[in-house]
Each structure stands twice: as C-alpha cells, then as structure tokens.
Amino acid sequence: MRSPVLLVIAHGSRDPRHAATVHALVRRVRALRPGLRVETGFLDFNVPSVQGVLESLAAEGVEDVVALPLLLTRAFHAKADIPAVLRDAPPRLRIRRTEVLGPSPLLLTALERRLYEAGLSPADKSSTGVVLASAGSTDPEAIAVIADIAREWWHTGWCAVRPAFASASLPRTEDAVRELRALGCERVAVAPYVIAPGFLPDRIARGADEAGADVLAEVLGPSPELAALLLRRYAAARREGQLTAA
C-alpha cells in the first residue's frame, strides 16, 4: 500500500530566507525517508499555495494525505487558517492532520545545539541564563506553552531560562536579557524558538544586540532534530487516523 503524501504547511513570508529554510528542511526530511513523497504548501506570500498543492494531488489520483502544520505552538494559524484551507480541499482526498511540532524534547535538543554552535559549551550551562525568544501570539494557550517550555528547560541545568516574545506579548527579548543580568547570571544567551528567518526573528536579534546578550543562537532551521520531529508527527497521524473534517 502506498504511504500517504506528507504535505508540510508553512506560513510563508515576504522574506526569501523563510521559503529557502522551509525547502531546506523538507529536503532533509526527504533524505531521511527516500520512499516518502513530501510536498510543501504555503498559506500566504509564497507558492505553491496549500490549496494548489491539494488540487494537484487530487488531479494526479492521490487519495491519502497527511497535513503537517510547520508551527511550534497551537495558535491562530493552527486553530483557524489551516483547518479552513483543509476543509476546502478536493473531496476525493482523505486528509489526516498532525499535531503542531511543539512542545517536544527534540526541539529542546535543537535549541541547545544551536547555542553550542553559537559559542557556548556544556561547561557554561550552570552560569548562563537563556532567553527563550518566540515570535509571540495573542493566544493564551500558546503563551502558556512557551512559559512551560522555559520552565522545563531551566530544570536541565541552566542558571535561569526566561520566555520572551517578538510581538503580541511581553516581555520583549531585550527586557528578558536585562532581567537575567539582574539575576546575576554570568552570561546571557538568546535562543530563538522560531523555525525560519524573517521579520520577527530579526526583531529578536535586534533586542539581543540592544541589551548586550553574550550569545545569539541561529533559528532552528533545517536541523536534524526538526526533520526527525516532522517524521514522528507524520507517523503518529497515520497511527491515529485523525481526520481534519471534524
């Protein structure tokens, strides 16, 4: 039996780095599972659109699709935009939707590796405060999840971990950096909890620079942990048979 097509649904951005990063991540997923067909669709700004990909798959005779939101939290896009576009899919398609990517231990592993790539070492951990900087949301559930991840990560041995947001919520990155300085952390690092570069990640970077953070990690990007997580979400959706039409 042919495996369902994995459709990775990205938000899209006017910043060309966003789509380039999404495509690099999808290439890594394909390399991990050479026999699996993986397609990419964007909600806005970039092509192909999600609707366009779904229509093309239906025209080819594809019947089963697993739709994966390339999102770290369950906020507006996961709760409204993506369900709406999937409801408008051609009726011949059977679509299962995965959970969003976060939270996951794999994401914490990826965040930590990015910090080490930026110059920290494991020996620095207990004396380093970390700002977990996300894009931000007006959704209380999404904000609570970021705070929970920060608490969980702190318990792995960092001096302290504080959440921060580039938009919609407070504190901002620069305020969280200053708070960690005031707590007495020997150094302060900023870990962007975002998948791809763009306007809000650039705002995170400016806040880190403005407040004098010692280390700024790269975005998660096409990391091996993120690619592995996509395949885990795909496998879970296949097992659970979760229908999007509900």
CATH code for position 147: 3.40.50.1400
Question: What whole-number distance in Å separates Cα of residue 57 and Cα of residue 66?
Answer: 12
Task: Output helix, strand, coil percentages for the chain, rounded to the nearest 5.
Answer: 45, 20, 35
pLDDT at 243: 43
Which tokens in the block code for residue 103?
């939270």
127 and 184: one domain?
A: yes
Q: What is the DSSP string of 215-231?
A: EEPPP-TT-HHHHHHHH
Tell me, what's the pLDDT at 2?
Answer: 87
Do 158 and 233 lie in one domain? The reply is no
**Alpha-carbon dihedral sign for residues 44, 192, 154, 140:** negative
Q: Is 136 part of a structural domain of the chain?
A: yes
Supply the range of the domain harboring residue 165. Answer: 119-216
Which residue type does 84 have?
A
Q: How many CB atoms lie within 10 A of CB 141?
A: 12
Question: Does any domain span residue 66?
Answer: yes
Q: What residue has token string 């407040």?
A: 211
Backbone angles phi, psi at 51, to 5 degrees: -60, -40
Residue 208: CB atoms within 10 A of its CB come to 26
Q: Is the pTM of this model over 0.85?
A: yes
Domain count across the chain: 2
pLDDT reported for residue 245 = 34
Spans of the chain, pLDDT less than 50: 242-246
In a domain, 157, yes or no: yes
Let me know if residue 125 belongs to a domain. Answer: yes
* Residue 245: inside a domain: no
Q: Are residues 183 and 94 in the same domain?
A: no
